[in-house]
Amino acid sequence: MTRDPAALLPSAEPVMLIDPSGAPTGLADVPDDDTMLAAYGALVAARRLNDQAYALVRQGRLAVYPSSHGQEACQVAAAQVLGADDWLFPTYRDTVAAVTRGVDPVEVLVLLKGDWHSGYDPYRTKVAPQATPLATQLLHAVGVGYAAKLRGEPTVVMALCGDGATSEGDFHEALNFAAVFGVPVVFFVQNNEYAISVPLARQSVAPSLAHKGVGYGVPGERVDGNDVAALLAVLGGAVAKARAGEGPQLVEAHTYRMQAHTNADDATRYRQDDEVAAWVERDPLTRAEAYLRGRGALGDDQVTAYAAEADRMAAHVRDGLNRDVEPNPDDLFDFVYARRTPQLEEQAALVADELSREDAR
Amino acid sequence: MTRDPAALLPSAEPVMLIDPSGAPTGLADVPDDDTMLAAYGALVAARRLNDQAYALVRQGRLAVYPSSHGQEACQVAAAQVLGADDWLFPTYRDTVAAVTRGVDPVEVLVLLKGDWHSGYDPYRTKVAPQATPLATQLLHAVGVGYAAKLRGEPTVVMALCGDGATSEGDFHEALNFAAVFGVPVVFFVQNNEYAISVPLARQSVAPSLAHKGVGYGVPGERVDGNDVAALLAVLGGAVAKARAGEGPQLVEAHTYRMQAHTNADDATRYRQDDEVAAWVERDPLTRAEAYLRGRGALGDDQVTAYAAEADRMAAHVRDGLNRDVEPNPDDLFDFVYARRTPQLEEQAALVADELSREDAR
Amino acid sequence: MTHEKLTMAQALNRALRDAMAEDPSVLMFGEDVGPLGGVFRITDGLTAEFGEERCFDTPLAESGIVGLAVGMAMNGMRPVVEMQFDAFAYPAFEQVVSHVAKLRNRTRGAVTVPMVIRVPYAGGIGGVEHHCDSSESYYAHTPGLHVLAPANAADAYGLLREAIASPDPVVFLEPKKLYWSKEEVDLAAPVPGIGKAAVVREGTDATLIAYGPSVPTALEAAEVAAQDGRSLQVVDVRSIVPFDDATVCEAVRSTGRAVVVAEAVGFASVSSEIVARVTERCFHSLAAPIRRVTGFDIPFPPPKLEHFQLPGVDRILDAVDDLQWEDS
Amino acid sequence: MTHEKLTMAQALNRALRDAMAEDPSVLMFGEDVGPLGGVFRITDGLTAEFGEERCFDTPLAESGIVGLAVGMAMNGMRPVVEMQFDAFAYPAFEQVVSHVAKLRNRTRGAVTVPMVIRVPYAGGIGGVEHHCDSSESYYAHTPGLHVLAPANAADAYGLLREAIASPDPVVFLEPKKLYWSKEEVDLAAPVPGIGKAAVVREGTDATLIAYGPSVPTALEAAEVAAQDGRSLQVVDVRSIVPFDDATVCEAVRSTGRAVVVAEAVGFASVSSEIVARVTERCFHSLAAPIRRVTGFDIPFPPPKLEHFQLPGVDRILDAVDDLQWEDS
Ligand SMILES: Cc1ncc(C[n+]2csc(CCOP(=O)(O)OP(=O)(O)O)c2C)c(N)n1
Ligand SMILES: Cc1ncc(C[n+]2csc(CCOP(=O)(O)OP(=O)(O)O)c2C)c(N)n1
Ligand SMILES: [Mg+2]
Ligand SMILES: [Mg+2]
């Protein structure tokens, strides 16, 4: 039992460096303008991607989309604080994080388009496949980090989950394993107040989700999830500590899911419009823009340029998703094992036979 | 998020009311002499039961026995602080707790004798079947408590587990469910320093196991697990708070498993004799005796009387376990469902037929 | 007047409402089953009607949900829990296998756990991975559980009422793709009961044995076969555990040929069991080995490929064609 | 000189040691596998020999153990994990089914999880509840896993080496009751390989099909039958997934009669599968339906009653007697 509880407790209030009006709070230095501009650009792209994906669901090109509208700052920061050799473990809601780290958005959306379960090579960008079974990926993140640690590699792993996922047993086991083995993982909880329809108050009565670190000997930190500057600072600090050998870190961002859980969800059944409205003025994108404009680091021209860049990305996404891929039944049998078993050979032959007879008809 | 973290943190040191020499520490009042004498009597019986069961394993009457030698004070106190309508949820190591609450030791030992999985009617004494799959029973305890709460009954549930079990996902889910639903459960962790061979330091690097309450909004408390007075006070306080509507409570007792995990285990592979020796002087039984003798509340006559009482219990245990029960194959099929399925009828008939042919041979 | 046009989802909702109205110890809980009414709206309106204490949301933890239900069932309640999707029931597997299934037996009947685990299950709705598993074989292989799978709204109502009333724990598998099919339902009709299969179409040439989502497909196949002059009988298993050997074997003996149809992966599955036990019992009545049309031995495919995995009319009819008609 | 007299426990230990010595990416972890050497001593001496970083104890959490292994396998390691007993693997069920089994498929082969989940399993050692489950059917029903069950020390060594070398995840079932049986083992002997069954006794009248703990029982039954003038062939399945249809079917065709022997609960099990698939393929070679001798459909009994549950020589010979010898 090695840790002093006082060193583990998060701050009473979430860290905020820029207030909703765009003014620095003075709590600590805001990251430099280049860093902030890079974050701003990614936020613009992220918002555009959320909007585009939402539209593609309406057009029937995506089965469903869990939007991160309102949470973009969390995801942008989670990706931007990582180095090339670090790993990112995203959930179904973290399309933006994966894309910010460099995965082609068309490839990320393959899951929701329905062509395959995962559309990108996780090793190319060191982004794990998006996880659906809640909290399970946190353990994989610990394993990836521990393997790297055993080999003496300086890898840090950023493991994402939602507020609801903190209730799962795997959350507990992941934090504990990481702590006991001193694995450099940053557990980053995007607390967006809801797990589908279930509000945070029915999920936990802890002082905050960051307080969950205490029980593992893991330092917790709370941050304003709509303030990209604070997120870059807090997540960046957590990554630095993890890399320096201080073990896992837990960060809770306070944010809000502006849209329904997915397009299939009806949020009016469980929350009031005015609750949503109150979060509009905390929008992460306008806050970053106001700050940068206030400093004169961002002008209309650049805003237009970022928007144009985001539009190009959106066009690329539309093109990619409008392309129909001919489903290949061989795919069903080719990846279950390194080689097809005799049984899978038989079953694949059955399908091939059926198809050839269909063609013959 | 309703709880103030300061109110959740356990004391820096485990609560001790009587020191190893038997002297009151003065930290708080020791329970009255009647209470302490009742505890002492139960401790004597408990030690005798542990010794007797151990001997019965050597004699081949029990398959195995997980002794609580050294931890008797925890189990005696856990049972004695409960009222008649409360529930106790013991593990495989908590034979003493079950017996202290009134279950016939012969019935408790049925599991380890091998006649059946559980030998007592849980409703008669409100003692749940001893749980083997670690931490799973904590959720059942929450369910029992919540059902009572919904009906407005004043039941408190005492749910026992070991230090190792706190690493399981079910520990996490149980504490969280209890906290969110405000269920009157006292989670009582007997931290005996080992999970079979694994020392606490490889199980957790939290400041203490009691600190795990913080992450659920559950107050934690630490207590000397070899001081029955402190245990009665702390566990009694926790039960009172739970009953008063303050929700679940977490108590960690610091104790030590004096013998191997079970008779099948070889403790010399993972711990040194001198580590064990250091705990001898903290023995819960001698400490309680020294205190009571010191106050003049206990004399040689009474000590002898308690010992004789314990011997009678041990004789009863020997008698019970030396009685061979004829295994009845019908039992295999009669309790799987309320009524045998047609399939079980067929299978039972098969066994009956086999046996009748065997008899005929 | 008890005849009504209901979807299976509405029939299930009605079953819960009627059970809760009749018996105050019946509770409903799980993820999003409260104000939202469940992601499939099976619990719609229950919180409003019966209050937060009778139908409520839990923290997001399936082992927790099932473990809580075990404790409540031990203490006088009759909990019904919802696992949001088939694959999201797996975190509760230990609780189901080691406790729900075993507590009665462990305690020689002293402790019973009358509870229902409702699982929206199987594919056919274009769902992404983890949302389409057919997990019945895991449960059916576990003694101590009853495993039911209705194939129409009337059975959904009747079987869920029976499941809630049962003194034994029930895993209740709701075929997602049938949630929205509407039919005439007589809520007051007597229910054949747990453990009873039903011949849902008479036929003389071969028997199709199916349950849950595969029953409508089997019926469709029988319809097509009839147009080709082949008379297929269809048996709806309804109750996977306990299994109705009598009805199924009588049916198979009457035709001498059979095909088992199930969406689940075939290997070591309920359909393997049906083939094995019917063959054991009806060997000399069989003109051909019993064929299986099941999911392949692969993880459930993504939406664009799922039609390959689901047993369809063509695959069923191919299997029927393979039943060695010339030899007989 | 590679012939040695070894118990299965020693053979497994040797396989781990040899694999760890050859490949630094092979790691061993789980509960009590470090200094203690595992409750069955399968990992005895590995921490001493390879250090704490290669063989280590984890916190007590099975989902954690398997989930950690998944991540390590994703990142270049070849973890071998021990589940302390069969029933204590259930908390890891979601990780096994939703990740271990599926990651390769999910990512079209980009992510592989070469790992071995060792499970001391099945009964026959007088163990109390939760310590004697035969859980192979749960794994065998899950595509993406290989499922192996050795029945002797030589296979235990060879198959575990193969399992560790495999690019695919393997559930490796170690029959507890065979841990201490000693035999001559040639560690250098070539291994038939994953997916290969073995005819372990020739015979002409009927075929016994068994795996893991039931193989010695089947051999014993064949020995007894031989004294009664009946010649029983015994097939050791060895590899449950992939299943060796060729060897098993050839054997059954050669005798025309078969009994499947397995300790597990029979319903919806691996033995159901064997009956179903062999019948499908060998129907016209069969003189009688294939019989099963399995555990009953009940929770594993307490020690004093377990002998009723375990398939024994008598029950096997009764089933052989039932194979309609008069009719043929
Ligand atoms: C093990 C498991 N149980 C249930 C689900 C179904 N489900 C998907 S998302 C979700 C809510 C998750 O809430 P949270 O963790 O707060 O993340 P958010 O969706 O808000 O980003 C649920 C219940 C799941 N994916 N996995
Ligand atoms: C889910 C589960 N995993 C593994 C085991 C095997 N096992 C039995 S006792 C034990 C150690 C438990 O340690 P702890 O919780 O500290 O309790 P103690 O035995 O010290 O009283 C283990 C690993 C089990 N019973 N259940
Ligand atoms: Mg959320
Ligand atoms: Mg312990």
pLDDT tens digits for B202-255?
999 999 999 999 999 999 999 999 999 999 999 999 999 999 999 999 999 999
pLDDT of res. D327: 55
CA C241, distance to chain mean position in Å, is: 10
**Whether residue A248 is found in the same domain as residue A342:** no
Give the active site residue among C131, C141, C146, C284. C131
**Whether residue B280 is found in the same domain as residue B341:** no
Residue whose CA is at the smallest distance from ligand 1 atom 12: A195
Arithmetic mean of pLDDT, A306-334: 96
Residues C158, C163, C169: CA angle, nearest 5 degrees:
165
Strands (E), chain D: 3-7, 26-30, 55-57, 78-82, 116-121, 146-148, 170-175, 182-186, 198-201, 206-210, 232-236, 239-241, 258-265, 291-295
Both tokens of residue A299?
């002008």
Q: Are the Cβ atoms of D90 and C106 closer than 8 angstroms? A: no
Q: Give every strand in the sheet of D291-295, ordered side by side.
A: D198-201, D232-236, D206-210, D258-265, D291-295
Chains near C with 3+ CB pairs less than 8 A apart are: A, B, D
All residues of chain B having their beta carbon less than 8 Å from the beta carbon of residue A203 are 180
**Whether residue B318 is found in the same domain as residue B336:** no
pLDDT of res. C328: 47
Domains of chain D: 7-186 (3.40.50.970), 198-321 (3.40.50.920)
Residues D79, A136, A3: CA angle, nearest 5 degrees:
80
How sure is the predictor about C327, in pLDDT bands with cuts at 50, 70 and 90?
low
Q: Does A177 lie at the interface with D, CB-CB under 8 angstroms?
A: yes
Strands (E), D178-282: 182-186, 198-201, 206-210, 232-236, 239-241, 258-265
Q: Are the Cβ atoms of B341 and C242 closer than 8 angstroms? A: yes
Q: Give every strand in the sheet of A249-254, ordered side by side.
A: A87-89, A157-162, A185-191, A249-254, A220-224
Give the domain extent around B335: 328-361
**Whether residue B166 is found in the same domain as residue B43:** yes
Closest listed residue to residue A207, CA positions, set A10, A343, A347, A41 = A10
**Whether residue B80 is found in the same domain as residue B168:** yes
Q: Does A199 lie at the interface with D, CB-CB under 8 angstroms?
A: no
Q: Per-residue pLDDT tens for A201-222?
A: 999 999 999 999 999 999 999 9
For residue D131, give how far its alpha carbon lies from the nearest alpha carbon of chain B (Å): 10
All residues of chain D having their beta carbon less than 8 Å from the beta carbon of residue A156 are none
Q: How far is the CA of B165 from the centre of ligand 2 (A)?
A: 6
pLDDT of res. C3: 83
B136 CA closest ligand 2 atom index: 1
- In the DSSP assignment, the letter for residue D300 is P
pLDDT of res. A3: 66
Q: Per-residue pLDDT tens for A41-84?
A: 999 999 999 999 999 999 999 999 999 999 999 999 999 999 99
Taking the C-alpha atoms of residue A132 and residue A129, their distance in angstroms, rounded to an integer, is: 9
**Whether residue A138 is found in the same domain as residue A165:** yes
**Whether residue A254 is found in the same domain as residue A338:** no
**Whether residue B178 is found in the same domain as residue B83:** yes
Phi-psi region of D299 (alpha: psi -120 to 50; beta: other; left: phi over 0): beta
Strands (E), chain C: 3-7, 26-30, 55-57, 78-82, 116-121, 146-148, 170-175, 182-186, 198-201, 206-210, 232-236, 239-241, 258-265, 291-295
> What are the Cα distances from residue A2, in Å, to A245, B201, B208, D54?
15, 9, 9, 24
pLDDT of res. B108: 98
Q: Are the Cβ atoms of A217 and B207 closer than 8 angstroms? A: yes
Q: Per-residue pLDDT tens for C131-173?
A: 999 999 999 999 999 999 999 999 999 999 999 999 999 999 9
What is the gyration radius of the CA atoms in chain C, in angstroms? Answer: 20
Both tokens of residue B229?
């007075």
CB distance C239 to C195 below 8 Å = yes
Q: Does B194 lie at the interface with D, CB-CB under 8 angstroms?
A: no
Taking the C-alpha atoms of residue A325 and residue D108, their distance in angstroms, rounded to an integer, is: 15
Q: Does B311 lie at the interface with C, CB-CB under 8 angstroms?
A: no
For residue D246, give how far its alpha carbon lies from the nearest alpha carbon of chain C (Å): 16
All residues of chain B having their beta carbon less than 8 Å from the beta carbon of residue D314 are 354, 358
Q: Which residues of B291-328 are buried (b: 16+ CB within 10 A; e: fewer)?
A: bbbeeeebeeeeeeebeeebeebbeebbebbeeeeebe
All residues of chain A having their beta carbon less than 8 Å from the beta carbon of residue C301 are 332
Arithmetic mean of pLDDT, A266-286: 96
**Whether residue B57 is found in the same domain as residue B109:** yes
How sure is the predictor about B112, in pLDDT bands with cuts at 50, 70 and 90?
very high
Q: Per-residue pLDDT tens for D43-74?
A: 999 999 999 999 999 999 999 999 999 999 99
Which of B116, B170, B172 lies closest to C108 in CB terms? B116
Beta bridge partners of B190: B162, B253
Q: Are the Cβ atoms of D97 and C90 closer than 8 angstroms? A: yes
Nearest bound ligand to CA A135?
1
Taking the C-alpha atoms of residue C152 and residue C183, their distance in angstroms, rounded to an integer, is: 8
* pLDDT (tens place) for every residue of chain D, 328 residues total: 468 899 999 999 999 999 999 999 999 999 999 999 999 999 999 999 999 999 999 999 999 999 999 999 999 999 999 999 999 999 999 999 999 999 999 999 999 999 999 999 999 999 999 999 999 999 999 999 999 999 999 999 999 999 999 999 999 999 999 999 999 999 888 888 899 999 999 999 999 999 999 999 999 999 999 999 999 999 999 999 999 999 999 999 999 999 999 999 999 999 999 999 999 999 999 999 999 999 999 999 999 999 999 999 999 999 999 999 985 4
For residue D304, give how far its alpha carbon lies from the nearest alpha carbon of chain C (Å): 14
Both tokens of residue A188?
């980053």
**Whether residue A335 is found in the same domain as residue A317:** no
Both tokens of residue B141?
């305890």
Q: Are the Cβ atoms of B205 and A5 closer than 8 angstroms? A: no
Q: Which residue has the tokens 């018996």?
A: C23
Quote the pTM value.
0.98
**Whether residue B318 is found in the same domain as residue B333:** no
* Secondary structure, 3-state, chain B: CCCCHHHHCCCCCCECCECCCCCECCCCCCCCHHHHHHHHHHHHHHHHHHHHHHHHHHCCCCCCCCCCCCCHHHHHHHHHCCCCCCEEECECCCHHHHHHCCCCHHHHCHHHHCCCCCCCCHHHHCECCCECCCCHHHHHHHHHHHHHHHCCCCCCEEEEEECHHHHCHHHHHHHHHHHHHCCCEEEEEEECCEECCEEHHHCCCCCCHHHHHHHHCCCEEEEECCCHHHHHHHHHHHHHHHHHHHCCEEEEEECCCCCCCCCCCCHHHCCCHHHHHHHHCCCHHHHHHHHHHHCCCCCHHHHHHHHHHHHHHHHHHHHHHHCCCCCCCHHHHHCCCCCCCHHHHHHHHHHHHHHHHHHHC
**Whether residue A253 is found in the same domain as residue A337:** no
By CB neighbour count within 10 A (0-12 exposed, 13-18 middle, 19+ buried), where does A7 fall? Answer: exposed
Both tokens of residue D258?
């078969």
CA B148, distance to chain mean position in Å, is: 22
All residues of chain C having their beta carbon less than 8 Å from the beta carbon of residue A113 are 304
Q: Decide: A69 in ligand 1 pocket, CB within 6 A.
A: no
pLDDT of res. C2: 67
Q: Per-residue pLDDT tens for C175-232?
A: 999 999 999 999 888 888 899 999 999 999 999 999 999 999 999 999 999 999 999 9
Which of C32, C64, C90 lies closest to A196 in CB terms? C32
Q: Are the Cβ atoms of C128 and A132 closer than 8 angstroms? A: yes
Residue D290, C-beta contacts closer than 8 angstroms, at least 6 positions apart? C276, C279, C280, D252, D257, D258, D259, D260, D274, D275, D278, D279
Which CATH number goes with the domain that contains B104? 3.40.50.970
Which of A133, A148, A177 lies closest to D75 in CB terms? A148
Q: Does B325 lie at the interface with C, CB-CB under 8 angstroms?
A: no
Number of domains in chain A: 2
Half-sphere exposure of C78 (CA within 13 A, CB side): 20
B135 CA closest ligand 2 atom index: 1
| Residue D131 bears catalytic tag | yes
CB distance C294 to C262 below 8 Å = yes
pLDDT of res. B65: 97
ipTM of the prediction = 0.98
CB distance B89 to B145 below 8 Å = no
